[in-house]
Structure 1
């Protein structure tokens, strides 16, 4: 039997001319089917990982020896780490190369952001004065993106739900745009064999056309001398180097060479026409899945959007804001604003950017939602609990055992031996999971039902291979 038989018809043949492709070792690796497990820790919620190896192209990335049940690790739900495929973490290496804090602050767009792997990665790379807009085109995928960014805890983040075309009105607004484009998915064949059923040469062509349309739509939003990071999880030349040639042909873009270390095993390629640099990840050469990534700089101006200053905003309710300030870290550096009955906060330096975005985009999250004021008491939002904004010393704090933490994450009520009364941060190993309202000898669980653990599998404490 042909050892290529499990691949779609024509797939191996279509890659014969792809840079760095070796059909024999590629096929053998897929037959072994040992996909590595990797996580990326949240540098703002530091934890210690045991029995790991670092991902060489990502500062916060680690390979685990085995795949634990992340669902039953409270530290995962606390936003201490994100489970992400190692090759995708290469975006961190690109950003580290092009990001210069002296040239900031930066405005960064992650255009196709759900479920949030690259958005949380970008968030960790940015400073507090920078802005991240994480956009998801498909409405049903926005909640998971928002949840993951809420867990990550940063306050300089906006989540939007827009078609790429909407960004063309934000001329020259972004300094970096990341487009992890929808693709034919061949880079995921080992991790997700079902993806093979979707692959065809016709689909590759359709994906290439869609990628070019998305890039053309968002291109005006990139500032002159701004950077476009383009990636796919496809091996097909048409979706990778050919798209780079198209970008250089259609627009005034300059390819950026990203430094590599030979031992990483990443294949550096050049496009046929404009010799644009690209970076290919093959699972027989790197410890990760298939990825293509490239970086280009825009050399022309598409004009500039007027940064909006909303002079007609209602006068802030300073009495209510004064009630909120003691609950918030660095309150002097935050802009407090109200959306319906909810109070939110975002970095004060980003107020004008937020008001500009509100004119053009459908926004689902901006900064951190603190909660509602009932008289002088804040009814806190779950988003506030997991954010880095929260002044933990202003609230009760309850440390949970592992079994209690899992019960809490299932949204169960359970007995607590406490005499405390009021809103409490529920914590596991010092990391915040969410809120509960404590009453004498009992509690009301306020963990959001939309993200509770619903698996009926038996919870077991994470092993030495996981996060501790």
Structure 2
């Protein structure tokens, strides 16, 4: 890859961007190769050994060799997430603006799929904090909910809404992350095909779309709340110009985030409002292209009123007792039903759930426990992967690597069993899902829509 490989006028425009070094940039795209990084799940410590830590994220790590994640059962168990290192800077921003964690906060990831930044945010939150992960595009919601379920926490709600649908939630969120749809130039090294989609016209269209998204979501940020804005673009129009627009249009206050020189991140100031931004260039950082910034909202745009959902079903005490028996510290959770499915969410979030239900199209709330059949629970896959499951209440079956791969394929499992009933299938102590143990066979209940389809190379 040389200068002629890039889209016309792209490098010319990049020459004017802060911190850009043409020789380093081109060399990184020619000779840098792909960088593999993962982020460990702090709620599911698996003792995974890695090669080097990502400097701006404690759970982020680089790998010298990219393994086959598809055939690692710990990946499917949610012990880690494969994530580009630069994007993990959002963790550093959140921790910088929230040095104390005593007061519970509500966080929105507005453009959330596939879920990398949602699980990143979730890792930095307490159970008393609430994360709402929204995806605008309906077809991308399943991968978001799958990744949230793997992460295991119950303090998450996934929604499928346009940003304008949040206008009824005035002043609801303490922190909003807008990882905005962009022209994607920061992904050129990772995905060279993205070069074919880049144009100056597309940059301008993205800029207009970003302004529309931010204008729609602005009322939902509380007074003194924070907006974290990011793109995977180098274009000034999508980055510093957006910061100038936010500060001029809404009088937002720019927040300077502490960084270390050795990280290689370029700190910038927007030309008109002098708002702080942070640029990541391949070759200067171990990661791909990113822009990120943080601003504080200075004004109040109203508050969301409480809402009691009178349509919620009354729960039979006997049924509730059965469901609660599957939960560690069951008094910490609020239980409810959606049709025949039982769900649980941290008790502190009942009122928020009711209000969000009024305004948004909810696709996932807390943890789906399963359905009751008589006095038995038919357990859901979400329950298996969750942190709230009481393992003393269920059978467990330990699998070796080959057996775990058979299970994840929904194949027959080559194992001898001496028990019967619903069993949690585990690998190295981490749950993968459910199976029904019968006298002469095992019924594999791993969800078919996420089963391993690829063939393992020899």
TM-score of the superposed pair, with normalisation by structure 1: 0.96
2:27 is paired with a residue whose SS is: helix
Whether the aligned pair in 1 keeps the contact of 2:184 and 2:198 (CA below 8 Å) is yes
Aligned residues: 458
Note if 1:403 corresponds to 2:402: yes
Instruction: Provide, for residues 42-92 of structure 1, a one-character-per-residue CA deviation record: whole Å limited to 9, x for no partner.
Output: 001002232410001001000001100000000000000000000000000
Report what 2:42 is aligned to: 43
Q: Alpha carbon RMSD of aligned pairs, Å?
A: 1.2
2:247 is paired with a residue whose SS is: helix
Whether the aligned pair in 2 keeps the contact of 1:385 and 1:432 (CA below 8 Å) is yes
Report what 2:436 is aligned to: 437
Report what 2:368 is aligned to: 369
Following the alignment from structure 2 to structure 1, what is the Cα–Cα distance between the partners of residues 184 and 145?
A: 24
Further displaced range: 224-233 or 300-309: 300-309
Whether the aligned pair in 2 keeps the contact of 1:111 and 1:135 (CA below 8 Å) is yes
Following the alignment from structure 2 to structure 1, what is the Cα–Cα distance between the partners of residues 397 and 456?
A: 26
Following the alignment from structure 1 to structure 2, what is the Cα–Cα distance between the partners of residues 361 and 276?
A: 32
> How far is the alpha carbon of 1:24 from its aligned partner?
1.3
Whether the aligned pair in 2 keeps the contact of 1:415 and 1:442 (CA below 8 Å) is no
Aligned residue runs from structure 1 range 235-314, under 5 A: 235-311=234-310, 313-314=312-313
Report what 1:9 is aligned to: 8
Report what 1:463 is aligned to: none
> How far is the alpha carbon of 1:231 from its aligned partner?
0.1
Following the alignment from structure 2 to structure 1, what is the Cα–Cα distance between the partners of residues 66 and 299?
A: 46
Whether the aligned pair in 2 keeps the contact of 1:327 and 1:390 (CA below 8 Å) is yes
> How far is the alpha carbon of 1:102 from its aligned partner?
4.7
Further displaced range: 315-324 or 282-291: 315-324
Report what 1:34 is aligned to: 33
Report what 2:152 is aligned to: 153
Aligned residue runs from structure 1 range 224-239, under 5 A: 224-239=223-238
Aligned residue runs from structure 1 range 100-249, under 5 A: 100-102=99-101, 104-249=103-248
Report what 1:22 is aligned to: 21
1:275 is paired with a residue whose SS is: coil
Report what 1:92 is aligned to: 91
2:354 is paired with a residue whose SS is: helix
Following the alignment from structure 2 to structure 1, what is the Cα–Cα distance between the partners of residues 315 and 455?
A: 47
Instruction: Structure 1 unaligned segments of length 5 or more: list them.
Output: 461-468
Whether the aligned pair in 1 keeps the contact of 2:158 and 2:362 (CA below 8 Å) is yes
Q: Structure 1 293/59 Cα, relative in aligned 2: closer, same or farther at 3 Å?
A: same
Whether the aligned pair in 1 keeps the contact of 2:233 and 2:289 (CA below 8 Å) is yes
Whether the aligned pair in 2 keeps the contact of 1:425 and 1:435 (CA below 8 Å) is yes
1:327 is paired with a residue whose SS is: coil
Higher relative contact order (CA 8 A, sep 6+): 1
Report what 1:421 is aligned to: 420
> How far is the alpha carbon of 1:307 from its aligned partner?
1.8
Whether the aligned pair in 1 keeps the contact of 2:313 and 2:337 (CA below 8 Å) is no
Following the alignment from structure 1 to structure 2, what is the Cα–Cα distance between the partners of residues 312 and 36?
A: 50
> How far is the alpha carbon of 1:315 from its aligned partner?
2.6
Report what 2:59 is aligned to: 60
Whether the aligned pair in 2 keeps the contact of 1:405 and 1:428 (CA below 8 Å) is yes
> How far is the alpha carbon of 1:302 from its aligned partner?
0.6
2:325 is paired with a residue whose SS is: helix
Q: Structure 1 359/283 Cα, relative in aligned 2: closer, same or farther at 3 Å?
A: same
> How far is the alpha carbon of 1:147 from its aligned partner?
0.2
Instruction: Structure 2 unaligned segments of length 5 or more: list them.
Output: none
Further displaced range: 31-40 or 99-108: 99-108
Instruction: Provide, for residues 96-119 of structure 1, a one-character-per-residue CA deviation record: whole Å limited to 9, x for no partner.
Output: 111244552100000000000000
Following the alignment from structure 1 to structure 2, what is the Cα–Cα distance between the partners of residues 7 and 294?
A: 26
Whether the aligned pair in 2 keeps the contact of 1:234 and 1:290 (CA below 8 Å) is yes
> How far is the alpha carbon of 1:440 from its aligned partner?
2.1
1:177 is paired with a residue whose SS is: strand
